[in-house]
């Protein structure tokens, strides 16, 4: 396998756009990535576009890549459509990496794009609810009902007034609290951190700062989650240009190298091998010849604040049950031992599902090039992303872990 580098990357600001569609969002992100790579749109030899929900939210199915790229004058080359729930664009990135690493192509374009915002909220919620085994959907909703909705005959609000995934994360948070004594305040401190980081990121959907008290006092979603502990949906796009190591000097003097790319699926044998995130991280660390101690900055899939805490434990930043202590120590803040979600994470940057994975990689690319502005991590040389998607039998259906280095 050949060495592969990111020559350029770009993204839109994540937001709720009434007047911007998939094509316009894609154009902005791809133009930014190509400009950063110093190349013309005719240079990429293959393109992979990640998108999860356009069929449900916009009606565009089947040929999303060909539609959004043709509009901006990219045609003829092979195009692949990647759909893998919230991990759609990080999966697209892995496919782009494989095309170049294998020697089949020298330059590949990876894109993530999503249009989640619509005045018909039910359509967006339906898109999230489709990320589980739909044959078991009703049973899942009833099983996950928070204590406040346990009254006989009362239907769950999951999938109606809120995303089903918030109930999944809330149930996991309650279990962690019962087993390890983790507190709601510790979860809220993660939200404080990420919103503070997002205030420094011009691409973030929300740039407000909040106190611990404000996080806790925001409207309840599903116990123990409040609204500000949950990632907002929205619209956006992200893109990266990957180039073979022996060709990258033609385009940039500051390449960021892809040291590992892991994609794994959920399993019914978690007791034997660990959960999906642990397995993906283990695979990536082995591929890169690194451990968690070698990582200077990381972006993880904080679709809720409790999700981030669980990921700390799963990827080895601390022992199982010690995530709350890591939060209390400030270890994951900018300036801490291992900064996590310097972009603001999904909580503040936003979560246009199919664009999230490459947006995480964009943040690490900026950090390793020393271009992250007020949220820059000092002397960052290696970074990592973790991006999960969907849910089957109590864990993510798909998870990617990528490791990048200067």
Catalytic choice (86, 230, 318, 402): 86
- pLDDT score for 274: 83
Burial of 196 (0-12, 13-18, 19+ CB in 10 A): middle
Parse the chain into domains and list their residue ranges. 4-118+233-405
Residues of the chain with pLDDT under 50: none
pLDDT tens-digit profile of 329-342?
999 999 999 999 99
Catalytic choice (176, 195, 351, 402): 351
Is 402 among the residues known to form the active site? Answer: no
Question: What's the CATH superfamily of 4-118+233-405?
Answer: Thiolase/Chalcone synthase (3.40.47.10)
- pLDDT score for 236: 98
> Are the CB atoms for 235 and 117 separated by under 8 Å?
yes
- pLDDT score for 148: 64
The whole-angstrom separation of Cα 101 and Cα 287 is: 14
Is 230 among the residues known to form the active site? Answer: no
């Amino acid at each position: 396998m050949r060495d592969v580098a990111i020559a350029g990357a770009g993204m839109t600001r994540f937001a709720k756009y009434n007047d911007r569609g998939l094509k316009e969002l894609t154009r902005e992100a791809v133009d930014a990535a190509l400009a950063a790579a110093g190349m013309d749109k005719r240079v990429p030899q293959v393109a992979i576009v990640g998108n999860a929900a356009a069929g449900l939210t916009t009606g565009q199915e089947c040929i999303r890549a060909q539609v959004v790229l043709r509009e901006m004058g990219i045609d003829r080359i092979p195009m692949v459509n990647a759909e893998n729930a919230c991990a759609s664009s990080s999966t697209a990135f892995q496919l782009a990496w494989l095309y170049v690493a294998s020697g089949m192509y020298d330059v590949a374009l990876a894109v993530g794009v999503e249009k989640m915002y619509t005045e018909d909220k039910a359509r967006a919620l339906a898109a999230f609810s489709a990320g589980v085994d739909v044959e078991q959907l009703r049973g899942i909703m009833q099983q996950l009902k928070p204590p406040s909705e346990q009254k006989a005959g009362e239907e769950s609000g999951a999938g109606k007034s809120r995303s089903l995934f918030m109930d999944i994360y809330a149930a996991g948070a309650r279990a962690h609290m019962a087993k390890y004594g983790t507190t709601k305040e510790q979860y809220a401190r993660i939200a404080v951190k990420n919103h503070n980081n997002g205030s420094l990121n011009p691409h973030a959907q929300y740039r407000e700062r909040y106190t611990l008290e404000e996080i806790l006092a925001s409207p309840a979603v599903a116990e123990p989650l409040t609204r500000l502990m949950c990632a907002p949906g929205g619209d956006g796009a992200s893109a990266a240009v990957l180039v073979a190591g022996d060709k990258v000097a033609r385009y940039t003097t500051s390449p960021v190298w892809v040291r590992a790319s892991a994609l794994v699926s959920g399993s019914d044998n978690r007791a034997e091998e660990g959960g999906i995130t642990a397995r993906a991280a283990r695979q990536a660390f082995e591929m890169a010849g690194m451990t968690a101690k070698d990582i200077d900055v990381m972006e993880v899939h904080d679709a809720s604040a409790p999700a981030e805490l669980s990921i700390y434990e799963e990827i080895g930043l601390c022992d199982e049950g010690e995530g709350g202590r890591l939060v209390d120590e400030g270890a994951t803040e900018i300036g801490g031992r291992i900064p996590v979600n310097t972009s603001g994470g999904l909580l503040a940057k936003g979560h246009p599902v199919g664009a999230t994975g490459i947006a995480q990689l964009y943040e690490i690319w900026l950090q390793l090039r020393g271009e992250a502005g007020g949220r820059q991590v000092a002397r960052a040389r290696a970074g990592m992303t973790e991006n999960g998607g969907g849910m089957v039998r109590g864990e993510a259906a798909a998870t990617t872990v990528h490791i990048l280095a200067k």
